[in-house]
Every structure is written in C-alpha cells, then in structure tokens.
Amino acid sequence: MKTFIFDIDGTLINSPAMYLHGLQQTMRRHGKDYALADLTFSNGVSSVETMTRLGFTDPRENAAAIEEWISDSMAFADRSGWIPGFPEVLTQLRQAGATLGIVTAKSAHEFALDDARYHYSRYIDTWVTAGQAKRDKPAGDPILLAAQRLNADLDDLLYVGDTLTDAQAAHDAHVAFGLAAWTTPKPTPAFAPIAQRLTQPRDLLALV
C-alpha cells in the first residue's frame, strides 16, 4: 500500500467514551436521559446529523447543541488520547514513502480543535472534514476527495476505520478497508469485505 487514509475517533484517537459522556450530559441538560449505549450511533456520523436525530432540527438550535456537546465533552478529556504508538507509526509510514490522509465526520471547526490538541497535521498530508465532499460518509465521496488531493492510486489505498459507516464509505469508494480492531474486535457481517484486520497500529508497517 502506498496511501493510508484514516478515520479519527476510535481509529487514531481513543475518544468515543469522551464524546459519548459529553453527549449524554448535554442531553440531560435538555431533559433527555439517554443510556450511553443509545448514543453510540453518533460515532461515525457528523455532529449535525447526530443532533438532528436527537431532535434538534432547527439549524440554530442544532448549532448551539453542538457547541454544548463540545464543551461538555472537554470535562471527560482525560478519557481520550492517541491510540498507543500511533504517532510513531505515522512517522514511520511517511519515512517509508507512504502518503497519509484523514477522512472524518467532524466539522472543520471540530477538526481544528482536535488538531490543536493532538497535532494530526504534523503527520498527515491532507484531511477531509464533513461537508467538504458532495456527500459525507457513509458515501465514498470524502475518501475519493482525499485520494484526489494525494494523487493516490485507488488500488494502492487503504482506508482505516472502526465503524460500519467507515466500512461502507470504503466499499462505496471501491478501496480496501482496514478494520481498527483495537476498537471493534468483533465486527458484524455487514463490515465485509475487510481487506486488513489490524490488531495494533504497527500492523500497518507490514503493508508498505
């Protein structure tokens, strides 16, 4: 493989718990008491879609609820961080000549907040955030846009993610899908085909 494109939450960063607890707190403020399991759908879809599904259909209310969610999640920031060893693996992939990208359901604003903390842009050649492509994940458009920016050969590209939305996006883009099994060790049959089942970030180094 010559090109690797990554999802963020649950793939590069161990962050789902942080955002789930933050979302739960936001919903409680609005009188809606959800179990964490009922909010897991939010991992892999945009914040706008998440809040729309939760009843915030007015654009201004939706935007305000997203800001609350971001703020509430920061209280649980100690629950998130890089998947161990990933920054070093990204550095080694680039040293081996691979090009790297990110495709995320985060908005540009949310990505910028994350980048200020985790410094993805030190390791990544390009990134595509929600709304930049014609369609967001689970469509393959964001992956294809990142591939275009990287001048990548789709036959030599692996998209790495942890959710069904990620798998669907890879399949729609007709690129190989790599499962981040450190977050999703037991995928459902709907994830298939899985080209690479990655148990740790270092597994990627054997693919270049």
Q: Could you tell me which residues are beta bridge partners of residue 130?
A: none
Residue 86 structure tokens: 């990933």
Question: Binning pLDDT at 50, 70 and 90, where does residue 41 land?
Answer: confident
CATH of the domain at 112: 3.40.50.1000
Q: Residue 154 gets which letter from DSSP?
A: G
Contacting residues for 110 by C-beta, under 8 A, at least 6 apart: 47, 70, 129
The values of phi and psi at residue 26, to 5°, are -60, -45
Binned at pLDDT 50, 70 and 90, residue 137 comes out as very high
Is residue 9 located within the same domain as residue 112? yes
pLDDT for 86 beyond 90: yes
Smallest Cα–Cα separation from 162: which of 170, 153, 154? 170
Nearest to 7 by CA among 121, 155, 167, 148: 167
Domain carrying residue 87: 3-14+81-207
Q: Are residues 23 and 65 in the same domain?
A: yes
pLDDT band at 31 (very low <50, low <70, confident <90, very high): very high
pLDDT at 193 over 90: yes
Give residue 46's pLDDT: 81
Domain stop point among 52, 78, 104: 78
Q: Compute the average pLDDT of residues 173-196.
A: 95
Read off the pLDDT of each residue in 98-112 and give the average, rounded to a whole number.
94
β-strands 196-198, 176-180 pairing: parallel
Where is the domain boundary, 33, 57, 78?
Answer: 78
pLDDT for 80 equals 83
Q: Does 105 share its domain with 62?
A: no
Domain match, 73 and 103 both: no
Whether residues 102 and 184 share a domain: the answer is yes
Q: 74: pLDDT confidence band, cut at 50, 70 and 90?
A: confident
pLDDT of 76: 87
Question: CA 108, CA 82: separation in Å to the nearest integer?
Answer: 20
| CB distance 177 to 193 below 8 Å | yes
For residues 111 and 155, what is the distance between their CA atoms, to the nearest angstrom?
A: 28
Q: How many domains does the chain have?
A: 2
Low-confidence winner among 106-115, 120-129, 151-160 (lowest mean pLDDT): 106-115
Whether 113 and 174 share a structural domain: yes
**Same-domain pairing of 21 and 8:** no
pTM: 0.82
For residue 207, give the amino acid letter.
L
Q: Are residues 31 and 87 in the same domain?
A: no
Domain co-membership, 26 together with 96: no
* Domain stop point among 59, 78, 97: 78
| Same domain for 68 and 112 | no
> How far is Cα 136 from Cα 151, in angstroms, rounded to an integer?
20
79 pLDDT more than 80 = no
Least confident of 38-47, 136-145, 159-168: 38-47
180 and 89 in one domain? Answer: yes
The answer to whether residues 98 and 190 belong to one domain is yes
